């Protein structure tokens, strides 16, 4: 049981139930925000058994543990809750070896009033979308993975999970292709930056990564060929 007070067994019981239903119905399932080593072990076995299963992990669970809650810092009140170091390390390995299909931001902005409450009463969640790329690069650097492998977890990996649900974009989403929509993020992998919540653009600016030095500064983003973020 982590400091959040929520036992890991809640995750494993839910997974056992889901997998049994999958065996009966043959339905395809995607699991959001896997958070424990025990859960990962069940997913790995289910995939070996041939169940049509994919899953993701959040940037918070990939980098933080229950120790980062400190003196019950509400910025670290998340859902699912932060687990122990062995859980984090297992999830890092699972993302590296492909058991985990995608890395997600778990972007859940929370207002000032909802985070100002005592830890147990505060609303779970944190801003994350602006940190996704840099935290993916930070994980890959620590894991000794090449840049294309890191980027795959936030581009073509999620696209494969969505599959046919992407419709006409399925053939090009998450990758560069001639004639595809120009949805691009241009960044400098050698440029570091410090997470300053006051400079984040999200409606909610609370994050447990405040003050972290991260790699990869975004220079601009294009959506369908149009500038969405960058110099004027």
Q: Which residues on adjacent β-strands are paired with residue 30?
A: 54
| DSSP conformation letters of 160-226 | HHHGGGGGGGGGTTTS--TTS---EEEEEEEEEEE--GGG--SS----TTTT-EEEEEEEEEEETTE
Residues annotated as catalytic are 106
Residue 154 falls within a domain, yes or no? yes
Asked if 204 and 110 count as a contact pair (C-beta separation under 8 A), the reply is: yes
Six token digits for residue 17: 């139930």
Q: Is the pLDDT of residue 4 over 70?
A: no
CA angle 43, 46, 50 (to 5 degrees): 135
- Rounded CA gap, 92 and 142, in Å? 10
Q: Confidence class of residue 6 from pLDDT cuts 50, 70 and 90?
A: low
Question: What pTM did the predictor assign?
Answer: 0.92
Task: Give the domain extent around 149.
Answer: 9-167
Q: What is the pLDDT of residue 177?
A: 81
Residue 209 falls within a domain, yes or no? no
Asked if 124 and 74 count as a contact pair (C-beta separation under 8 A), the reply is: no
Q: Using one digit for the tens of pLDDT, what is the confidence trace for 79-89?
A: 999 999 999 99
| pLDDT, average across residues 173-201 | 90
Residue 192 falls within a domain, yes or no? no
Residue 190 falls within a domain, yes or no? no
Six token digits for residue 103: 């890395």
Residue 101 falls within a domain, yes or no? yes
Residue 138 falls within a domain, yes or no? yes
| pLDDT, average across residues 154-181 | 83
Burial of 17-26, coded b for 16+ CB within 10 Å and e otherwise, reads ebbeebeeee
Q: Is the pLDDT of residue 178 over 90?
A: no
Q: How many domains does the chain have?
A: 1
Q: What is the CATH number of the domain that holds 163?
A: 3.20.20.140
CA angle 96, 102, 103 (to 5 degrees): 85
């Amino acid at each position: 049981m982590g400091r959040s007070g929520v036992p890991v067994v809640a995750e494993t019981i839910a997974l056992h139930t889901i997998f049994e239903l999958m065996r009966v119905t043959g339905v395809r399932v995607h699991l959001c925000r896997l958070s424990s080593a025990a859960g990962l072990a069940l997913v790995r076995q289910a995939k070996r058994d041939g169940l049509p299963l994919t899953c993701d992990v959040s940037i918070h669970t990939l980098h933080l543990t229950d120790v980062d809650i400190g003196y019950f810092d509400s910025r670290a009140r998340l859902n699912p809750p932060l687990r122990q170091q062995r859980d984090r390390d297992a999830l890092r390995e699972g993302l590296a070896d492909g058991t985990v299909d995608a890395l997600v931001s778990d972007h859940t902005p929370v207002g000032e009033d909802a985070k100002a409450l005592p830890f147990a009463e505060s609303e779970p969640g944190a801003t994350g979308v602006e940190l996704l790329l840099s935290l993916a690069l930070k994980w890959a650097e620590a894991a000794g993975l090449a840049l294309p492998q890191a980027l795959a977890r936030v581009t073509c990996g999620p696209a494969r999970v969505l599959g046919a649900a992407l419709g006409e974009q399925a053939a090009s989403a998450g990758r560069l292709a001639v004639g595809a929509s120009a949805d691009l993020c241009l960044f400098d992998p050698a440029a570091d930056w410090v997470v300053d919540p006051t400079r984040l653009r999200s409606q909610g600016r609370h994050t447990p990564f405040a003050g972290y030095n991260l790699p990869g500064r975004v220079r601009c983003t294009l959506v369908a060929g149009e500038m969405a973020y960058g110099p004027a």
